[in-house]
Amino acid sequence: MKVICAGIPKTGTKTMAQALRMLGYNVHDVFEQFIYDRKLWYKVLDNTATKEDYIETLSDVDAVTDFPACSLWEQILDAFPDAKVILMVRSSEDEWYKSIKYHFKHMSNMNQGVLMYPVLNLLLGPLHREFLKYMASFIPACLGSVYTWGAETEALLRTRYRQHNMYVETACPKENLLVFNAKEGWGPLCKFLGVDIPSQPFPRENVKTEIVDKVASGQYDYDCGYRNTVLKQTVLRIVIALALVTALISYFVHSW
């Protein structure tokens, strides 16, 4: 483990993940952590995770970003004390809140209808449901709130943003820490990491929560097969459902 990205969601986590990939790092972002590392995170939820578990799971990973890692940056640093910590921040708290609010609203719009939501979750299969459960466990740890918004939630979100950033800046050894805004580009990042500045422009990812649509349409390169697995499980459920309906119709027709 070389780099621990401690910025909470909507602080440029996807931009940072792509920047580190361009620098040659093996990055575990949200889907890599869910697909490859979730045994460790479930141990965290069971209060059974040890330093050795962190070392065993993450020793071959160069960098982590987004959740759950951002909420457990201190435990990861304890396991890998030579790692560098990058705290990503936005230009202002207002800018961050506007971004996270838009993200929540976009996610809500994709799951419109109180009755349709559980039906879709059942239809989409076990991996999708496990990911929802996984998010429900770790998003509150990162944001101090679940996927909703309003006056009360705004206060919680804003407070969490301040608390998290202040704690990282206070608790992390200064020599290990870079406070970084993606608008600063390659310069401070590469200087901190001790690497050369690439010839390519600094990336800008997940503008207007576009990753949500990319994952849904199969256009996201780093979902670790999540979308294809969910699609296969969905097709299987549809086939089974159609077979059951056909069998029931045939039974009643012959019974009459």
Domain encompassing residue 173: 3-255
Q: What is the pLDDT of residues 112-168, one digit of tens each?
A: 544 445 556 666 778 888 888 888 888 888 887 665 555 558 888 899 999 999 999
C-alpha span between 216 and 254 (Å, rounded):
42
What is the number of domains present in the chain?
1
- The pLDDT score that the predictor gives to residue 115 is 44
Positive or negative CA dihedral for 11, 12, 14, 19? negative
Chain position carrying tokens 């027709």 = 253
What 3-state class would DSSP assign to 105? Answer: helix
Cβ atoms within 10 Å of 124's Cβ, excluding its own: 17
- Which of 14-18, 45-49, 106-110 has the weakest average pLDDT? 106-110
Per-residue pLDDT of 189-243, as tens digits, reads 999 999 999 999 999 887 777 777 787 777 888 888 888 888 888 888 778 777 8
- Please give the pLDDT value at position 151: 53
Q: Can you tell me the distance from the alpha carbon of 256 to that of 234, in angstroms, rounded to the nearest whole number?
A: 33
- Taken in order 29, 30, 36, 37, the sign of the CA dihedral is positive
pLDDT of residue 143: 85
Look over the chain and give the mean of its residue pLDDT values, rounded to a whole number: 87
Question: Can you tell me the distance from the alpha carbon of 40 to that of 72, in angstroms, rounded to the nearest whole number?
Answer: 11
Distance between CA atoms of residues 64 and 1, nearest Å: 8
Are the beta carbons of 144 and 160 closer than 8 angstroms? yes
Q: Domain containing 17 — which CATH number?
A: 3.40.50.300
pLDDT of residue 192: 97
- Residue 60 amino acid letter: D
